[in-house]
Chains A and B, each alone.
Chain A
Amino acid sequence: MIICRVSAGMGLECRSDISNAVVVISVLLIVLKRLGLGLLTLFVVSLLIFASVNMLPGDFAQAILGQGATPEAVAAIREDLGLNKPAVTRYIDWLSGILVGDFGVSFAQANFAVYAGDAAAQGGIGSVADQLLPRFRNTLFLASVSAAIAVPLSLALGVLAAMFANTAFDRAVNIATLSSISSPEFFVAYMLILFLAVLNPVFPSLSNIYDEMSFAERLNRSMLPALTLTLVVTAHMMRMTRAAIINLMASPYIEMARLKGIGPLRVIVTHALPNALAPIINVIALNLAYLITGVVVVEVVFVYPGIGQLFVDSVKVRDIPVVQACCLIFASAYILLNLTADILSILSNPRLRHPK
């Protein structure tokens, strides 16, 4: 306000200087605030996971050895795993362990080692991190392949459907995507297996992947699970893109651009797209986050050696440390994606980049 009253030339200069500095700081503050919030959420989530696991009846030691265990054996294991410490200490130990990449000891491995009686031969008691790491890499690979197909495909389809809204094309796409969203992942998966693996053997129906495989081979083997995920996610993403664009196209400034005689392509590229960035970023992040959940079922169907399958197996045998670790990884990825979307859409908002 004060600056505006200063004489014209002077006013201009100091205005732009000050406002630039203010902009950078204010945007930085907002971004930092979001980052802090994300970290806080992560902390709460870890607390939540730890607390739920501690609701187990009896304790881990009992769970490992089963009902018929002698009290001495239980006590020994308890000592071994540090279970006789108070919950707060255990939580801090667990969390600080995670921060340096130590997710604790897998029960299933421990179990096996104890029964076999040669823990040394197994290279100590199997750590969760050893189990997780290669599988996490595989899952990441699968998710990236599906995202690489799904994101461009769904954005293109969404924009097309919005451009030709309420035509036969739009209706057909609408029905197709609605059906694809509604179907359970395993239905889509088995349909793909039926058509692309059994009837026309294009891709293998089992995705047994190992480290020594070449990239092309890997891609070939993980094609069916990737396609399944793509189908499910594309439908979601496409519908949201379409809704965002249609919403945008109804705004007065688009009408204004058309009334200025601007061609349809330019209207979309220069007038709609910059404003569509934030919603589209959100759509992508939301669906990549959805991929994380979808991966569990799909990996089980295709016996894909990823983290989702490990998670389900561990749930079945109640291998608590692994379940805990997987849960935390899934949640972190989920929070991270949402955080990225949040920050990106803040950065793409002209009102925040150029405040009054």
Chain B
Amino acid sequence: MSEPTPLVKIRGLKIEGRTDETWIQIVNGVDLDLNTGEVLGLIGESGAGKSTIGLAAMGFTRDGCRISGGTVEFDGVDLVQADAATKRALLGKRIAYVAQSAAASFNPAHRIIRQHTEAPTQHRVMSSGESEQDAIELYGKLRLPNPGEIGFRYPHQVSGGQLQRAMTAMAMSCRPDLIIFDEPTTALDVTTQIEVLAAIRDIVEQFDTAAIYITHDLAVVAQMADKIKVLLRGDQVEEADTRTMLSNPQEEYTKSLWAVRSFQRQEKMPATAGTVPVISMRAVDASYGKLQVLYDVSFDIHEGRTVAVVGESGSGKSTAARCITGLLPPTSGEVCFNGEPLPADYRKRSTEQLRQAQMIYQMADTALNPRKSIAEIIGRPVEFYLGLKGREKRRRVEQLLEQIEMDPAVYFDRIPSELSGGQKQRIGIARALAAEPKFIICDEVTSALDQLVAEGILKLLANLQDTLGLSYMFITHDLATVRSIADEVVVMKEGRVIEAGPKTEMFTPPHHSYTELLLSSVPEMDPDWLDTLLESRGIENLGEAAMAAAG
């Protein structure tokens, strides 16, 4: 049996990026083979160079990057050496690209279908009329609603999940041999994600197109790819076909990636009836101006327990947190702390009341003042609430740094920009702890982090809860996180609480239909998961249709 010549053959690819007038290597010699009709999953954490490699496979580098070595052969043509015209003739026609943010990647000034027909007409594959007919057909295949009409809208008139599918259709417009998918579903909610995943997989199979699928989500890549390549900081770690890779990873790093989702803490006994909850929201309504965003929201958070508030974007989970902190005074209802109602506006609360409820933010970058040292950031609440000064303050800050597992001797005088994302998030935790609160709101604290780092943060939070008896309100859209840390779960949708209860109860059927939809939409590591799900739900009952049925 002779080896077929691969469609894409990358050898020793090296890419450099410019920082401060010097070139630093960000991809250190990557090899890659891709045969016709094959789908390769590229996975890695942020900074692994996935997208850079994906673009280099098209012979393209972003500004501030350059290919410094190696070859990228597409169908025998070396794209690194090829001149601009040769590359242009291939791009769009034989190699297509699907970007992460469809909303930003469609030109706001033109109708969707005009952008669709541009590549076929420019490459003289089809006439504009033929291409338009073809677009409508493709939209139908990708199960877009109103395929005959949707293309004649402008991008801002179409929802994110639909745009992402329209972009996949656009990539298909010349029937390319290779498509690069660059994190196409990262920005979408889980229920929408399924729909897009199913559509992409269908169309790639149908036209026998080769694809490179770039993502950081293992479960997603397990559904999409025939083989997987793992990257770490510009180095290739290992490559194998999907099932082997999932069941039998060879390298330590891959194993640690695979193990991430296994962290699960012991669930606590339910709170005894009659104890006063630390925080309770009672029939809270809230609105931004005239737009009401919370309807009759009630839930309790007991001492030493974690309540996860789950919902998709726009479900009102962050708004509920703003009501508790007093940033958004409720229009009716009240928020109680230890049974006593809190003033609605944070400006009317006493320092003691403010101290008891602290907050940790999603974006550690914007949560820490970039001009202050770590000592100042953590020291300020120590001084402000507890009145410690001088040596005592310093000792307390050092103690807090030890609690978050960071060496005081190293980090005491650093500024936030010198820290990694995970470390910044730890400083955010230390700042909250410095107030010695009873209750902490964690607003999507792990969603901006890589999975390994996120797991470290979750473990730290669990430990702190055990030693300090803290209560957490844990806002998240990620059910894996809920599974690992929560004691109780509150499911929200469109400003209402849909379902609430202990975790084990929530994760065992029967569910409320929306909870069911959310749960079943979270991709799992099993490569057959998507097929099983499609079979059980039916191809028509995805995304918006399913939402309508569940709502």
Direct contact of A and B (CB under 8 A): yes
Residue ranges of A at the interface with B (Cβ–Cβ < 8 Å):
8, 12, 250-253, 255-263, 266, 270-271, 274-275, 350-351, 354-356
CB <8 Å contact, B146 and A261: no
Q: Which of A252, A261, A351, A354 contacts B122 (CB 8 A)?
A: A261
Q: Does B326 contact A (CB under 8 A)?
A: no
CA A266 to CA B123, docked complex, whole Å: 13
A252 touches B118 (CB 8 A): no
Q: Which residues from chain A contact B93 at a C-beta distance below 8 Å?
A: 261
B89 touches A350 (CB 8 A): no
Taking CB as reference atom, which chain B residue is nearest A354?
A: B154
Query: Could you list which residues of chain B lie within 8 angstroms of chain A, going by C-beta atoms?
Result: 58, 60, 62-63, 87-93, 96-97, 99, 101, 104-110, 118-119, 122-123, 146, 149, 153-154, 156-157
Cβ of A263 and Cβ of B88 under 8 Å apart?
yes
Given contacts A260-B96, A263-B122, 13 further A-B contacts (CB under 8 A): A251-B104, A252-B99, A253-B106, A256-B106, A259-B91, A260-B92, A261-B90, A261-B92, A261-B93, A262-B92, A266-B122, A271-B107, A274-B110
Can you name the residue of chain B whose Cβ is closest to the Cβ of A356?
B157
CA distance A253 to B106 in the complex (A): 5
Contact B58 A259 (CB under 8 A): yes
> Considering only CB atoms, which chain B residue lies closest to A12 in the complex?
B149
- The distance in angstroms between the C-alpha atoms of A257 and B118, with both chains bound, is 9
Q: Give the Cβ gap from B246 to chain A, nearest Cβ, in Å.
A: 31
In the complex, what's the smallest C-beta–C-beta distance from A53 to chain B, in angstroms? 43
A261 and B104 in contact (CB under 8 A), knowing A8-B146, A274-B109, A275-B109?
Answer: no
Tell me the complex Cα distance, A106–B90, Å. Answer: 74
Contact call B146/A252, Cβ cutoff below 8 A: no
Jot down 27 A-B pairs with beta carbons below 8 A, ordered by A: A8-B146, A12-B149, A251-B104, A252-B101, A253-B104, A255-B62, A255-B105, A256-B105, A258-B60, A259-B58, A259-B92, A259-B96, A260-B91, A260-B97, A261-B87, A261-B89, A261-B93, A262-B119, A262-B122, A270-B110, A274-B107, A274-B109, A275-B109, A350-B154, A351-B156, A354-B154, A356-B157
One of B107, B149, B157 near A275 (C-beta < 8 A): B107
Known contacts A260-B91, A261-B91: A351-B99 contact under CB 8 Å: no
A350 to B101, Cβ gap below 8 A?
Answer: no
Pair B97/A351 contact, Cβ less than 8 Å: no
Nearest CB in chain B to that of A266: its residue: B122
B106 — which chain A residues lie within 8 A by C-beta? 253, 256
User: Which residue of chain A has the shortest Cβ distance to B120 in the bound complex?
Assistant: A260
Contact of B97 among A250, A259, A262 (CB under 8 A): A259
Find chain A residues with CB under 8 A from B101 CB: 252
Cα-based distance from A252 to B91 in the complex (angstroms): 16
- Nearest CB on A from B111, distance (A): 9
Determine if A350 and B109 form an interchain contact, defined as CB atoms under 8 angstroms apart: yes
Docked Cα-Cα span, A350 to B156, in Å, equals 9
Contacts of B63 on A, CB cut-off 8 Å? 250
Question: Which residues on the B side are within 8 Å of A253 (C-beta)?
Answer: 104-108
* Distance between B135 CB and nearest chain A CB, rounded to angstroms: 14
B60 A259 Cβ-Cβ under 8 A: yes
Cβ-closest chain B residue relative to A15:
B149
A122 to B105, CA, bound (A): 70
Query: Contacting A261 at CB < 8 Å: which of B119, B154, B156?
Result: B119
What chain B residues lie within 8 Å of A266 (beta carbons)?
A: 122
**Chain B residues, Cβ within 8 Å of A252:** 99, 101, 104-105
A356–B156 CB distance below 8 A: yes
Instruction: Compute how far the CA of A29 lies from the CA of B122 in the bound complex, rounded to whole angstroms.
Output: 40
Chain A residues whose C-beta falls within 8 Å of the C-beta of B153 in the assembled complex: 354
User: Which 8 residue pairs across A and B have the least CB separation, nearest first?
Assistant: A261-B92, A261-B91, A260-B92, A274-B109, A252-B104, A253-B107, A259-B97, A252-B105
A349 to chain B, nearest CB (A): 9
- C-alpha gap A263/B123 in the complex (Å): 10
A123 to B250, CA, bound (A): 104
B218 to chain A, nearest CB (A): 26
Query: How long is the Cα–Cα vector from A8 to B146 in the complex, in angstroms?
Result: 7
Nearest A-chain residue to B548, judged by Cβ: A5
Q: Which residues of A contact B123 (CB under 8 A)?
A: 261
Contact A260 B99, beta carbon cutoff 8 Å: no
A346 to chain B, nearest CB (A): 15
- Residue of A whose beta carbon sits closest to that of B89: A261
Please name all residues of chain B whose beta carbon is closer than 8 Å to the beta carbon of A270 when the two chains form the complex.
110, 118
List of B residues within 8 angstroms of A259 by Cβ: 58, 60, 91-92, 96-97
Whether the Cβ atoms of B97 and A256 lie closer than 8 Å is: yes
- Which residues from A are CB-within-8-Å of B107? 253, 256-257, 271, 274-275
The answer to whether A260 touches B104 (Cβ under 8 A) is no
A7 to B93, CA, bound (A): 37
- Give the complex CA separation of A258 and B63 in angstroms: 13
* Chain A: CB-nearest residue to B107: A253
CB neighbours of A258 from chain B (8 A): 60, 91
Is B109 in contact with A261, judged by CB distance below 8 angstroms? Answer: no
| Residues on the A chain within 8 Å of B108, using CB | 253, 275, 350-351
Chain A contacts for B104, CB-based, 8 A = 251-253
| Closest residue on chain B to residue A5 by CB atoms | B548
Min CB distance, A175 to chain B, in Å?
A: 19
- Contact across chains for A260 and B157 when beta carbons are under 8 A apart: no
Expressed in whole angstroms, the Cα–Cα distance for A256 and B99 within the complex equals 8
Inside 8 A of A255's CB, which chain B residues have their CB? 62, 99, 105
Contacts of A12 in B (CB 8 A): 146, 149
Docked Cα-Cα span, A261 to B74, in Å, equals 15
Chain A min CB distance to B532 (Å): 32
The smallest C-beta distance from B330 to any residue of chain A, in angstroms, reads 27
The docked-state distance in angstroms from the alpha carbon of A255 to that of B99 is 10
User: Are B157 and A262 touching (Cβ within 8 A)?
Assistant: no
Q: Which residue of A lies closest to B91 (CB)?
A: A261
Q: How far is the CB of A104 from chain B (nearest CB, A)?
A: 48
In the complex, A261→B96 CA distance in Å? 9
The smallest beta-carbon distance between B143 and chain A, in angstroms, is 15
Q: How far is the CB of A18 from chain B (nearest CB, A)?
A: 14
Q: Chain A contacts of B157 at CB under 8 A?
A: 354-356
CB-CB under 8 A from B60, the residues of chain A are 258-259
* Alpha-carbon separation in the docked complex, A260 to B107 (Å): 13
**In the docked arrangement, what's the CA distance between A100 and B62, Å?**
61
- How far apart are the CA atoms of A262 and B106 in the complex, in Å? 14
- Give the residues in chain B near A263, CB-CB below 8 Å: 88, 122
